[in-house]
């Protein structure tokens, strides 16, 4: 069976596990500490980053884009009969999601409203772009769940958790994206693509009282001064 090497709250890992769940491909998963990476992982990984997929033959694959392509190369497509042009366009829209994973992490890590507003601009622009592109749904391409849905599911699942905790709606002003988020949550894949400990670990990292979201996203709260130099973290 293939094995995914993971870190519990890593969005790049979740994109891979969500695709495996959507395709009903069985996999083992091993969680590692990123602050104390095991030697066997460092020996296998050229970058030292998760996700890593270890094939049945023992080959270690890295970089989530390449892993997603490998999974697609070795299994039936979620959306059959797409033209090469459509597949290329879909890859581009998937990239529009994954290049914002770290942006969302940085936004959620913001410690004060001013930093939050500053960091959230890029993410909002991404949601505005995809709002214009969405079909009548329920999924990106219509009735069938596809790879673009999987890539955006990661951002939209996290936005869902943030709103449930703080009331802050990252998708305000984007009704199509909001409906898409609900359709994706209703598939059950976001929940299945993460570990049982995910809600608690995500909460501890992004929604404790050290972040503005964690304190309830109170817009009257004074900004920290001076503004923090760091751009916020992802996965510790």
Ligand X SMILES: N[C@@H](CCC(=O)N[C@@H](CS)C(=O)NCC(=O)O)C(=O)O
Q: Choose among 20, 161, 33: nearest CA to 104.
A: 161
């988020």: which residue's tokens?
Answer: 181
Determine which residue in the list 64, 147, 187, 193 makes contact with ligand X, applying CB under 6 A: 64
* In the complex, minimum distance from the CB of residue 148 to ligand X, in angstroms, rounded to a whole number: 16
Q: Name which position in 14, 49, 147, 163 contacts ligand X (CB under 6 A).
A: 49
User: Binding string to ligand X for residues 177 to 216, with x set by CB under 6 A, is what?
Assistant: ----------------------------------------
Q: How many CB atoms lie within 10 A of CB 227?
A: 13
154 binds ligand X (CB under 6 A): no
* Nearest approach, Cβ of residue 45 and ligand X (Å): 9
Q: Residue 188 burial (CB < 10 Å; 0-12/13-18/19+)?
A: exposed
Number of residues counted as binding ligand X (CB under 6 A): 13
Q: Give dist(CA 170, CA 124) in Å, integer.
A: 7
**In sequence order, which ranges of 49-142 are alpha helices (DSSP H)?**
64-73, 84-98, 101-109, 113-133
Residue 58 corresponds to which tokens in the numbers above? 């023992």
Is residue 235 within the footprint of ligand X (CB under 6 A)? yes
Tell me which of 2, 4, 5, 10 binds ligand X, using CB under 6 A: 10
Binding mask of the shown chain, residues 103 to 122, with x at each position contacting ligand X by CB under 6 A: --------------------
According to DSSP, residue 195 is labeled -
Contact residues for ligand X (CB under 6 A)?
7, 10, 12, 34, 48-51, 63-65, 234-235
């Amino acid at each position: 069976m293939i094995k995914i090497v993971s870190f519990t709250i890593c969005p790049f890992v979740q994109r891979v596990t969500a695709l495996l769940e959507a395709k009903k491909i069985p996999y083992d998963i091993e969680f590692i500490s990123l602050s104390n990476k095991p030697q066997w992982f460092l020996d296998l990984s050229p970058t030292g980053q998760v996700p890593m997929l270890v094939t049945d033959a023992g080959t270690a694959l890295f970089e989530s884009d390449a892993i997603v392509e490998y999974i697609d190369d070795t299994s039936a497509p979620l959306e059959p009969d797409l033209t090469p042009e459509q597949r290329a366009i879909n890859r581009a829209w998937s990239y529009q999601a994954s290049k914002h994973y770290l942006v969302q992490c940085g936004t959620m890590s913001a410690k004060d409203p001013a930093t939050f507003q500053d960091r959230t601009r890029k993410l909002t622009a991404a949601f505005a772009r995809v709002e214009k592109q969405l079909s009548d749904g329920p999924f990106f391409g219509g009735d069938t769940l596809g790879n673009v849905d999987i890539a955006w599911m990661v951002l939209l699942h996290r936005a869902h958790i943030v709103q449930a905790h703080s009331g802050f709606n990252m998708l305000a002003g984007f009704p199509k994206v909001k409906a898409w988020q609900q359709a994706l949550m209703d598939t059950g894949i976001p929940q299945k693509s993460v570990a049982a400990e995910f809600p608690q670990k995500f909460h501890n990292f992004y929604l404790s009282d050290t972040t503005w979201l964690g304190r309830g996203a109170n817009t009257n709260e004074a900004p920290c001064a001076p503004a923090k130099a760091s751009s916020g973290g992802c996965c510790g």
